[in-house]
Structure 1
Amino acid sequence: MIRMILMVLAVVLAPVAGAACSGQTACTLGDRSYHLRAPDGWDGVSPLPVLLHFHGWGRQGGLIVRHDRIAVRAVAEDVLLVAPNGLGGSWDFRAAGSRDTAFARAVLEDLAARYPVDPDHIFVSGYSYGAYMAWRFVCDDGADIAALLAVAGSFSAGAACDQAPREARQVYGLDDQVLDFPFGPRGETDTPVALWRDRFGCGDGQDQGPWNARPFLTFQRTVWDCPGGHVTLDLHPGGHFIPHDWIPIQVEQILSQRD
């Protein structure tokens, strides 16, 4: 009977503990912090997919949890969104063994102590310098990550990368003049995902043609179904920005494949 009472209390109190920090009230973790947002309409009990997002340069996680290009659609409705705060508004992504990889892992562990997390559906995303940090995290510690969702920033094929997520999805603007699009030596446009194509043993990609999240921006999608994982590359003619709905649509597509 006592054990039953404790189990019931755990279910009742877990959301309350998790709610102690949310939205613009940061969760403290040692001398660092992060922001989170629970999905709208969550029942307080069901295990939650997680989206760990690394903000762009000069930003903080409080922006991410209310961002109208990230915290919408499937992310707002179905996913526990968590946004770490980078030191000085930036990230340590240039070499393996990053201090921010350890910090982000600690954030995920702290999150799991506050909320019931679905360990099979942890997504890692980032924009600009945050995209580099998302790559660094999955390269350093990504064995349990369902998918990398990177926006406007990617590693070269020769970068140090000991681990990998199960899936990698990348979007990049061909006219990006902040983090220049990494055209190949003969003008190839598949180089943003060259590391994953090599790592997963990919062959030729499949052109899936154009698609739109919003009418004013068209993506050209190529996919690789490979022995070691799945790779998706979306290209658009624009510059350095987070495309409307791109991150939520990727989350929605992957979650729709759950049993």
Structure 2
Amino acid sequence: MRLFLLLLAVLLPSQTLATGPDPAPCRDAVPCPLGERAYHVREPDDWDGVTPLPVLLHFHGWMRQGPLIVNHGRISGATRRRGVLLLAPNGAGKTWDFWTRRTDDVDFAAAVIEDAAKRYPIDRNRVFVSGYSYGAAMAWRYACENGNGVAAVLAVSGTLDQDEDCAEAPAEFRHVHGTRDTVLRFPFGPEGETTWPVKLWRDRMGCDGPGQEAEDWSITEHDTFARTTWECARGRVLLDVHARGHFIPRGWIARQLDELLDLPPSYP
């Protein structure tokens, strides 16, 4: 009997952590039902079916849904090559309610992680949250209300108001934004200060001083980033600024995962 159970665990890896009835099978374009809503999942390439997986929960942009995310080269192209399980929740009405604390979307996103944990052996110490545009603002909201269990947030071109009062915070916050963004405009500070986009987290996490500026860096020939890093009393904040508009820069999510997972930097 013991041998049979071991063989069963190898043959059906996605079910090994489930209790009670097996979860409905779902992957890629087939959504995972969760109450009246759903999310999508993309497994990493060459996963052995046993090793615990880091998780990237990604909030899509306005009028998008999970199927786009699990096939997006700059998102799933990064996770599947780096051994990371991608979770892509579907926003109600193809958008997110991040405007105030009174939002069901935080609870829904937390439930997505718990449901995925019934299907996969996830690494609770490496749960990352990301988002683009309105999805980035939702990632901010999630971190603000439920961030204590989040290893890092990777936000692209979307913020909350910098005077939000956040009850929680992730261990690390990483944000990228373009100074020529005309969709969700770059939040310049007084006298054009370019470190203002992460003021909320600098205040919340006890970051002193102007931060450490690195030399400008690039992943591809398309974008160059100016990075500022704050080593804070209660975590770490990184801001990458580029001179273009509203988009997910090529390789940016991949590079953040390489750094967070202690992997050699690579592209894509």
Instruction: Flag whether TM exceeds 0.5 (same fold).
Output: yes
User: CA-atom RMSD, angstroms?
Assistant: 1.7
Give SS of 1:186's match. helix
Give aligned-pair identity as a percent: 53
Partner Cα distance (1:250, 1:78) in 2: 14
Partner of 1:110: 115
1:152 and 2:170 are equivalent in the alignment = no
- 1:49 is aligned, of 54, 58, 72, to 54
Aligned residues of 1:21 and 1:27 also touching (Cα < 8 A) = yes
Q: 2:86 aligns with which of 75, 81, 89?
A: 81
**Secondary structure of 1:149's partner?**
strand
Give the equivalent residue in structure 2 for 1:221. 227
1:245 to 226, 248, 251: 251
Which runs of 5 or more structure 1 residues have no equivalent in the other structure? Answer: none
Count of matched residue positions in the alignment of Structure 1 and Structure 2: 256
Provide closer, same or farther for how the CA distance between residues 189 and 75 of structure 1 changes in structure 2, counting only shifts above 3 A: farther
C-alpha distance in structure 2 between counterparts of 1:142 and 1:75, whole Å:
24
- Within 2, Cα distance between the matches of 1:124 and 1:73? 14
Q: CA deviation at 1:54?
A: 0.2
Q: Map 1:181-192; keep pairs closer than 5 Å.
A: 181-192=186-197
In structure 2, runs of 5+ residues without a counterpart are: 16-21, 264-268
CA offsets 1:23-50 (integer angstroms, 9 cap, x no match): 1111111110111100000000000000
Residues 156, 192 of structure 1: 8 Å contact kept:
no
Classify the secondary structure of the residue corresponding to 1:126.
strand
CA distance in 1, matches of 2:228, 2:245: 19
SS of residue in 2 equivalent to 1:209? coil
Q: Matches of 1:201 and 1:182 in 2, distance apart? A: 20
42-51 vs 137-146, which moves further: 137-146
Match of 2:240 in 1: 234
> CA offset at residue 73 of structure 1?
3.6
Output the CA distance in 2 between the equivalents of 1:188 and 1:19: 50
Amino acid aligned to 2:252: W
> Aligned to 1:68, which of 66, 70, 73?
73
Q: Which amino acid aligns with 1:15?
A: S
Could you tell me the TM-score, scaled by structure 1's length?
0.94
Which of 32, 36, 44 aligns to 1:31? It is: 36
Q: Aligned equivalents of 1:95 and 1:126: distance in 2? A: 17
Residue 132 (structure 2) pairs with residue 133 (structure 1)? no
